[in-house]
Structure formats: structure tokens, C-alpha cells
Amino acid sequence: MASHRPLIGIPTQTLQAIEGIPAGLPPSWVMNQRYYLAAAGVGAVPFMIPLLEDIATLREIYNRLDGVLLAGGVDMDPSTYGEERSPLCGVIDRPRDLVEMQLARWALAEGKPIFGICRGLQVLNVVMGGSLFQDVTAECDSAIKHDYVPTEGWSRDHLAHEVSVHAGSRLHSALGNTHVMVNSMHHQGIDRLGTGLAVTAVAPDGLIEGIESRDERYLVAVQWHPEAMSGDHASRLLAPFIEACA
């Protein structure tokens, strides 16, 4: 655990962007507590970042952070990577897109460590000029099932498929293995890889499951949800990130 407990910003999401939320509730920002518990468990001080349109205030929040963690959530707006929205694209949260992309740009420009989980991987890929499959099953003929979502009865820690981890990557250093079983709760994924990114893990169907920066900047992201997996999986992945932030 880091001797200095770094302040890690984790952006929220708009409550109304979640399917099934009753009408009439006041606009609210929320986020799954597991991300904050996982970060705190390896020595970070997690901080909930509101989805502010006030860029000056957002910048003041960012300036106080030692690192940024982009969590899972709803689909990105396809306009962020220059595409029309497909009927298969799910719920979007435009304020979250704007805030997370801005935080990522600042962090990348200034070398502040950044870690992405599921949607977070997709956000980082888009920020680096890449694009996404709006629905993996529809757009990839050889795709395996990736959407083992809780709303269909799957547990969040269900080990859905194996990923092959590239030797020599930061991900491999953290996990200590080239083959790992992971959970899977997404229907979108990386199509065109962003500039300056290296692939660090792939699913059996070839879908990109892990990325990192090609330079010295600490940018690491995975397509699965380590915070929901049992054992020490989350701490193994997050500990090097927190060390870099400290």
C-alpha cells in the first residue's frame, strides 16, 4: 500500500441515464460504490466527481487529484467518435461523456495516471481517436457472448470467458499470468484502436480487452469489471495504478 494516500477521482453518472429509473425524481449523480471501496482497499482516497458543465470548476477538482479512474456504465454517444447512433446503441449519458473525456484529455496531456474499467476503456480509446462497435454481436460475425448482464440473471462475478494477456505489458506484470478468466458485462467494444495505444489483452474472438499507453504515461484499461470479481483480482490491478498516483 502506498505511503502517501493519493486522491483518486471517479466520475459519477446521471441517475436518469439508468434504465428503469422512475420519472419525477430530481436530477441526481450516482455511482456504484464498489469502485470506491476497491480504490480505498489499495490505499487510495476515492472522490466522487460531479458531472459539472462548469469547466473552470471541473478543472479545480482535477488539479487536486493524483489520478483518475473511469468506471463502467452506459454507452458512449456515438457522435463522440463521429458516427450516427445505431438503434442497437443503448442508453447514453452526454454530460458524463463530456466530463470523462475532458478529464482524460487533461490527464493524458499532463501525465497524470489514469485507469479505465469497461466503459472507461472505451472512453480512453475514443479520446485517443479510436472508435467503438455500437453492438459487438451485430457487428462482429465471430463474436462470442459478452453481455452477461445482471438484468438477465447473471451474477456480476460470473467468469464468462478467458482473456489472453500480452507478456511484458503492465497488465501482465500486475496479474502475473498470460491467461485469465474474467467477467463480462458489455455489448460494445473497441473497433478502431486509438493512436498511441497498445493492445494488452484479447478475448477468444479477438475483441480487445485491455489497452495501455505506448509511452511512459500510466494509462491502463480493461474491458471487464475487476471491482466485481472475487479474491484479490481488483487489488492486483489497482495497486500499481495507486502506486503510480502516489
**pLDDT tens per residue, range 123-155:** 999 999 999 999 999 999 899 999 999 989 999
pLDDT band at 104 (very low <50, low <70, confident <90, very high): very high
Residue 242 backbone class (left: φ over 0; alpha: ψ -120 to 50; beta: rest) = alpha
- From residue 92, give the alpha-carbon distance in Å to each of 16, 29, 31, 73, 76: 10, 14, 15, 9, 6
CA dist., res. 125 & res. 132, Å (int): 8
Q: How confident is the model at residue 21, as a pLDDT? A: 85
Give pLDDT tens digits for 17-58: 988 888 888 999 999 999 999 999 999 999 999 999 999 999
Among all chains, which residue has been given the C-alpha cell 439508468? 18
41: which 3 cell numbers?
482497499
Burial class (CB in 10 A: 0-12, 13-18, 19+), 25: exposed
Taking only the tens place, the pLDDT of each residue in 59-69 is 999 999 999 99
Annotated active-site positions, please?
Answer: 118, 225, 227
Task: Report the pLDDT value the prediction gives residue 1, as an integer from 0 to 100.
Answer: 52
Over residues 202-240, the pLDDT tens digits come to 999 999 999 999 999 999 999 999 999 999 999 999 999
> Tell me, what's the pLDDT at 70?
98
Give the pLDDT confidence of 166-205 residue by residue, as tens digits: 999 999 999 999 999 999 999 999 999 999 999 999 999 9
Checking if the pLDDT of 156 tops 80, the result is: yes
At 8, which helix (H) or strand (E)? strand 7-11
Residue 2 has pLDDT above 60, yes or no: no
Q: Is the dihedral of CA 101, 128, 43, 155 positive or negative?
A: positive
Q: Which domains does the chain have, with CATH numbers?
A: 7-245 (3.40.50.880)
